Amino acid sequence: MAAAGKSGISPWVWVGLAALSLLALAVIFVLPQVVERYELPLVKRVEQPPAAIVPSPDAPQPPAISPFEEAQLARQRREAQDALADLLNKQSELEMMGVEQWAAEQFSQGLEAARRGDEFYRTGAFSDAAAAYQEGDQRLGALLDQTDTVLARIMEEGQAALQAADATTALARFELAARLDPTSEDVAVGRERAETLDQVEALLSDAGELQESGELAQAQALYDQAVLLDPLHDRATALRQDNEQRMIDAEFTRIMSEGFALLDRGEAESAITAFQRALQVRPGSQQANEAITQTREQLTLVRIEQYRLQAERHEQQEQWQQAIDTYAAALDLDANLVFAQEGKDYSERRLQLDTLLQTNLDDPLRLSDAAAYQEALDVFRVASDLAQDLMAQN
- pLDDT per position as a tens digit, 158-207: 999 999 999 999 999 999 999 999 999 999 999 999 999 999 999 999 99
Confidence of residue 48 (pLDDT cuts 50, 70, 90): very low
Task: Provide the number of structural domains found in the chain.
Answer: 3
Assign residue 213 the CATH number of its domain.
Answer: 1.25.40
> Do residues 98 and 109 share a domain?
yes
Rounded Cα–Cα distance for residues 95 and 89 (Å): 10
> Do residues 325 and 260 share a domain?
no
Smallest Cα–Cα separation from 172: which of 155, 149, 150, 147? 155
Residue 48 lies in a domain: no
Rounded Cα–Cα distance for residues 304 and 27 (Å): 174
> Do residues 330 and 247 share a domain?
no
pLDDT at residue number 8: 53
> Do residues 223 and 136 share a domain?
no
> Do residues 173 and 200 share a domain?
no
Average of per-residue pLDDT across 276-300 = 93
Q: At what angle do helices 185-212 and 234-264 cross, to 10 degrees?
A: 40
CA distances from 68 to 127, 297, 375 (A): 16, 115, 151
Per-residue model confidence as pLDDT tens digits over 107-156:
999 999 999 999 999 998 999 999 999 999 999 999 999 999 999 999 99
pLDDT at residue number 24: 57
337 CB-near residues (< 8 Å, 6+ apart): 304, 330, 331
Percentage with pLDDT > 70 across the chain: 75
Residue 53 lies in a domain: no
Residue 36: pLDDT over 60: no
147 CB-near residues (< 8 Å, 6+ apart): 97, 180
pLDDT at residue number 291: 95
> Do residues 261 and 310 share a domain?
no
3-state DSSP assignment of residue 265: coil
pLDDT at residue number 47: 45
Rounded Cα–Cα distance for residues 139 and 162 (Å): 33
Q: Which of 187, 209, 238 is the last residue of a domain?
A: 187
Residue 291 lies in a domain: no
pLDDT at residue number 309: 95
- Candidate ranges 56-60, 234-238, 367-371, 372-376; pick with highest mean pLDDT: 234-238
> Do residues 75 and 132 share a domain?
yes
> Do residues 239 and 172 share a domain?
no
Q: Which of 252, 283, 314 is the last residue of a domain?
A: 283
Q: What is the CA 73 to chain-centroid distance, rounded?
A: 56
Per-residue model confidence as pLDDT tens digits over 234-279:
999 999 999 999 999 999 999 999 999 999 998 999 999 999 999 9
- Is residue 210 within 8 A of residue 191, CB to CB? The reply is no
Residue 23 lies in a domain: no
Question: For the chain, what is the mean pLDDT?
Answer: 84
Per-residue model confidence as pLDDT tens digits over 56-88:
555 455 556 678 777 878 888 899 999 999 999
Residue 348 lies in a domain: yes
Residue 97 lies in a domain: yes
Residue 43 lies in a domain: no
> Do residues 323 and 265 share a domain?
no
Residue 21: pLDDT over 70: no
Domain that holds residue 210: 188-283
**What is the 8-class DSSP label of residue 45?**
P
Residue 40: pLDDT over 50: no
> Do residues 201 and 176 share a domain?
no
> Do residues 81 and 181 share a domain?
yes
> Do residues 276 and 192 share a domain?
yes
Residue 52: pLDDT over 60: no
3-state DSSP assignment of residue 242: helix
Q: CA 324, 330, 332, 333: dihedral to nearest 10 degrees?
A: 180
Q: Which of 187, 203, 225 is the last residue of a domain?
A: 187
- Is residue 305 within 8 A of residue 313, CB to CB? The reply is no
Rounded Cα–Cα distance for residues 120 and 130 (Å): 9
3-state DSSP assignment of residue 44: strand
Q: What pTM was computed for the model?
A: 0.58
